[in-house]
Amino acid sequence: MVELVLVRGDITEQAVDAVVNAANSSLLGGGGVDGAIHRKGGPAILAACRELRASRYGKGLPTGQAVATTGGNLPARWVIHTVGPVWSTRDDRSELLASCYRESLRVADELGARTVAFPAISTGIYGWPIDNGARIAIDTVRATDSAVEEVRFVLFSQDAYDAFAAVV
């Protein structure tokens, strides 16, 4: 069974096998976690993302899917990029959010990663309510069959940390 660890901090500083990037579909960097990972990871991550766009994801990575690149200058060996859904009050997009976690763990297994750090996917600029996002994240990781030994949720704010702690 996977060990769940909560950390309040910066995902770009995590010494794990893989960090998960809450990417936008372009894979070319952006704000929030995505921008921080690209800035700290350096140009190797962007170059790898450009190669992915050229070879397989010309129209962008679909929401709920995941793909890996080098970790560049990060302490992590790999970055697993996943595109979270934007919160909607009209459509239940919970399955897409759960898919981000499942697909990221699937990619981690393909890489042979044993430790993976996740941010709170979609809970920033995409507007997903943190309490609901925490429940989906933790429930999905617990229910996913994976060889990953440790999943570390790296939460930037105290509110996010508290929301995850209430579910664990």
Predicted pLDDT at 77 = 98
The domains of the chain, with CATH numbers, are 3-166 (3.40.220.10)
pLDDT tens, the chain, 168 aa long: 899 999 999 999 999 999 999 999 999 988 899 999 999 999 999 999 999 999 988 889 999 999 999 999 999 999 999 999 999 999 999 999 999 999 999 999 999 999 999 999 999 999 999 999 999 999 999 999 999 999 999 999 999 999 999 999
Give the model's pLDDT for residue 57: 87
- What pLDDT does residue 1 have? 81
Please name the residues in contact with 39: beta carbons below 8 A apart, sequence gap of 6 or more.
Answer: 12
Active site members:
34
Give the DSSP letter of residue 63: T
The predicted pLDDT at position 153 comes to: 98
Cα angle 165, 137, 121; round to 5: 100
DSSP 87: P
Q: What angle do CA 114, 151, 156 make, to 5 degrees?
A: 130
Please spell the DSSP secondary structure of 22-36, one letter per residue.
Answer: EE-TT-S--SHHHHH
Q: Are 129 and 93 in contact (CB under 8 A)?
A: no
Q: Which DSSP symbol is given to 128? A: -
> What pLDDT, on the 0 to 100 scale, is given for residue 2?
94
Distance from C-alpha of 149 to C-alpha of 154, rounded to nearest angstrom: 16
DSSP element (H, E) containing 39: helix 32-41
pTM > 0.95:
yes
Cβ(153)–Cβ(7) below 8 Å: yes
Residue 149 confidence (pLDDT): 98
